[in-house]
Amino acid sequence: MILGLVAFAIGLVAAATIGQILGVRRRNASQRAKLLSILGVEQAETKRIVGFFHPYCNAGGGGERVLWAAISAIQRKEPDVVSVVYSGDTDTTKDKIIEKVKARFDIELSPKTLDFVFLESRYLVEDSTWPRFTLLGQSIGSMYLVWEAMTYLIPDLFIDTMGYAFTFPVVSLVGNIPVGAYVHYPTISTTMLSRVKSRTAGVTNSAGISSSAILSTGKLLYYRLFMYYYAYSLRQARFIMVNSSWTKNHIDSILAHTDPLLDAIHLLPPLVLLEILSRKRSECPKTAQIAYPSCDTRQMSVFPLAGRERVILSIAQFRPEKDHAAQLRSFHKLLEAHPEYGGQGPSSAKLVLVGGSRNVGDATRVEELRLLAKELDIQDQIEFVVNASYPQVLNWLSRASIGLSTMVDEHFGINVVEFMAAGVIPVAHASGGPLLDIIVPLDRQPTGYHATSPETFAEAFHTVFNLSPEADIAMRQRARTWAVQKFSAEEFEKAWDESGWRGWL
């Protein structure tokens, strides 16, 4: 009896949903025609529409640069494609956005093959809407937000550029269209899951208070379910692009994530519906492809390579993870092992720390670093440049010999790219982006150095200072050639095309 009622209720909800979906699909043709006529497009039947899901498209950050660079490339190369951006920036207009993109990124967008769909329910994906269970709340919020998007317009290809993977099943179901994604950062990672797992084990083992054990078991279950559905959603995509090796490693391991118990549960009704509606696992992408965002290196890539001063330059906000103390210690080791770099003589070296200080925490850190420099008795050869202006940064980049980065496991490291483009030889911690993506050999010849401890950093400094003039110039040139080419707009467009997005139109 109860079972019958439940089945009836599920049937009712399903019927209502199907009714809604059919309604949205029926409106699709007229909505499309309206959009194309507003744009003044001729031969509307030959046009294809690519929808970009980017609710914060007016934010002006790195993620937005990727979006506009992609659209601008499509506009130049594919006159028959109309790009539509689903945005929640209801307080602005198409013309204002195009203007801002030009001013902020120097990217030219044509109004003829670009339009916007403004969404009302963006608050559903805002952090502040979900003080608890933020991940879950935002994910469900994004599903509703994309439903709103689809009621305005169903494109021919849907590309999410902001990391809302939970929208993919909704779009597949409502629009019956292919989905692709450009991912900057995984919503949840397998390392997060295993960290929660090991903490749970720890709590249970220590026979701690049972309530906290229940709490962390609950948390584990939450993460486990979240990971399961996140992987499920990602697999609905036909192609996935990522912005770095770091993100690729995470996304690849999520695509390979399995959970036999949850798989088994999904063979039972009504969950089995999910399996029936989803794409077969064998058709899903196994790995993500890297399309590095382009970096603007125009100004620094013309600095002369010769005549560099013995300056070791660090450019990093005074945040704890940047590990500025390690920079002071490395410099101290250099002076200890090679006293000739000390004092004020002709061969004396200098460490310059350029960086922003955002708050009291950062300012305190700067004071502590000054104290540490005194303690190590190297303060006369250290210069702090707090809150440097951009011209000041460029000036140091044009003079320095070595660029230093000590952060461990940095996801990327745009400062290292800038060092290299400026002709500054990079010495960076052997991990993360600087190891995997940035300081890699060109024609089997090094473009910089990696280190792990104050001793090895000091050794690398000494090596650079003792390069023969020819080797020195050659290495600076290699570093520049590599950085400018690999992180150029052309390379980004090439990688974007290699994702095969066009094949899905």
Residue partners of 158: CB distance under 8 A and separation at least 6? 50, 51, 53, 167, 171, 175, 177, 178, 179, 180
Least separation in angstroms between residue 8's CB and ligand NAG is 29
Task: Output DSSP code: residue 407.
Answer: -
* Separation between Cα atoms, residue 495 and residue 248, nearest integer Å: 14
Least separation in angstroms between residue 411's CB and ligand NAG is 5
Binding mask 324-363 for ligand NAG (x = CB under 6 A): ---------------------------------xx-----
Stretch that binds ligand NAG, among 23-31, 85-93, 278-286, 324-332 (CB under 6 A): 23-31
Tokens of 167: 């929208």
In sign, the C-alpha dihedral spanning 368, 373, 377, 379 is negative
Contact call for residue 411 and ligand NAG (CB under 6 A): yes
Which one of residues 90, 110, 387, 445 is an interface residue with ligand NAG (CB under 6 A)?
387
Q: Count Cβ atoms within 10 A of the Cβ of residue 462 and give its class: 0-12 exposed, 13-18 middle, 19 or more buried.
A: middle
Q: Count Cβ atoms within 10 A of the Cβ of residue 288 and give its class: 0-12 exposed, 13-18 middle, 19 or more buried.
A: buried
Q: Are 395 and 424 in contact (CB under 8 A)?
A: no
Least separation in angstroms between residue 363's CB and ligand NAG is 6
Q: Which is nearer to ligand NAG, 218 or 503 (CB)?
A: 503
* Separation between Cα atoms, residue 6 and residue 281, nearest integer Å: 30
Task: Output DSSP code: residue 279.
Answer: P
Contact call for residue 48 and ligand NAG (CB under 6 A): no
Least separation in angstroms between residue 120's CB and ligand NAG is 22
The position carrying tokens 């911690």 is 429
Stretch that binds ligand NAG, among 10-18, 21-29, 87-95, 213-221 (CB under 6 A): 21-29
Least separation in angstroms between residue 94's CB and ligand NAG is 22
Q: Are 48 and 157 in contact (CB under 8 A)?
A: yes
Stretch that binds ligand NAG, among 22-30, 194-202, 422-430, 454-462 (CB under 6 A): 22-30
Contact call for residue 29 and ligand NAG (CB under 6 A): yes
Q: How many residues does the chain have?
A: 505
In sign, the C-alpha dihedral spanning 155, 157, 160, 165 is positive
Q: Are 176 and 150 in contact (CB under 8 A)?
A: no
Stretch that binds ligand NAG, among 122-130, 206-214, 239-247, 323-331 (CB under 6 A): 239-247
Contact call for residue 65 and ligand NAG (CB under 6 A): no
- Provide the edge-to-edge strand list for the sheet that holds 382-386: 382-386, 350-355, 311-315, 402-405, 425-429, 449-451
Q: Are 400 and 424 in contact (CB under 8 A)?
A: yes
Stretch that binds ligand NAG, among 68-76, 243-251, 325-333, 342-350 (CB under 6 A): 243-251
Number of neighbours of residue 137 by Cβ within 10 angstroms = 17
Contact call for residue 28 and ligand NAG (CB under 6 A): yes
Which one of residues 176, 191, 445, 485 is an interface residue with ligand NAG (CB under 6 A)?
176
Least separation in angstroms between residue 358's CB and ligand NAG is 6
Contact call for residue 47 and ligand NAG (CB under 6 A): no
Tokens of 504: 């899905």
Helix (H, G, I), strand (E, B) or coil at 241: strand
Contact call for residue 56 and ligand NAG (CB under 6 A): no
Q: Which is nearer to ligand NAG, 159 or 460 (CB)?
A: 159
- Kindly identify the residues of this chain, within the stretch 413-432, that bind ligand NAG according to CB under 6 A: none
Contact call for residue 32 and ligand NAG (CB under 6 A): yes
Q: Which amino acid type is present at position 463?
A: T
Contact call for residue 386 and ligand NAG (CB under 6 A): yes
Q: Which is nearer to ligand NAG, 158 or 412 (CB)?
A: 412
Report CA-CA distances (Å) from 348 to 90, 340, 341, 381, 390: 57, 7, 4, 8, 27
Peptide bond into 270 cis (omega under 30): yes
Contact call for residue 25 and ligand NAG (CB under 6 A): yes
Stretch that binds ligand NAG, among 28-36, 399-407, 423-431, 472-480 (CB under 6 A): 28-36
- Kindly identify the residues of this chain, within the stretch 259-298, that bind ligand NAG according to CB under 6 A: 292-293
Which one of residues 56, 130, 144, 185 is an interface residue with ligand NAG (CB under 6 A)?
185
Q: Which is nearer to ligand NAG, 63 or 141 (CB)?
A: 63
Instruction: Number of residues interacting with ligand NAG: please give it, by CB under 6 A.
Output: 22
Which one of residues 52, 158, 341, 412 is an interface residue with ligand NAG (CB under 6 A)?
412
Least separation in angstroms between residue 27's CB and ligand NAG is 9
Tokens of 368: 């502590």
Q: Are 179 and 168 in contact (CB under 8 A)?
A: yes
Contact call for residue 154 and ligand NAG (CB under 6 A): yes
Least separation in angstroms between residue 189's CB and ligand NAG is 12
Q: Which amino acid type is present at position 384?
A: F
Contact call for residue 448 and ligand NAG (CB under 6 A): no
Helix (H, G, I), strand (E, B) or coil at 61: coil
Q: Which is nearer to ligand NAG, 141 or 433 (CB)?
A: 433
Q: Count Cβ atoms within 10 A of the Cβ of residue 23 and give its class: 0-12 exposed, 13-18 middle, 19 or more buried.
A: exposed
* Separation between Cα atoms, residue 370 and residue 357, nearest integer Å: 14
Residues that bind ligand NAG (CB under 6 A): 25, 28-29, 32, 62-63, 154, 175-176, 184-185, 243-244, 247, 292-293, 357-358, 386-387, 411-412
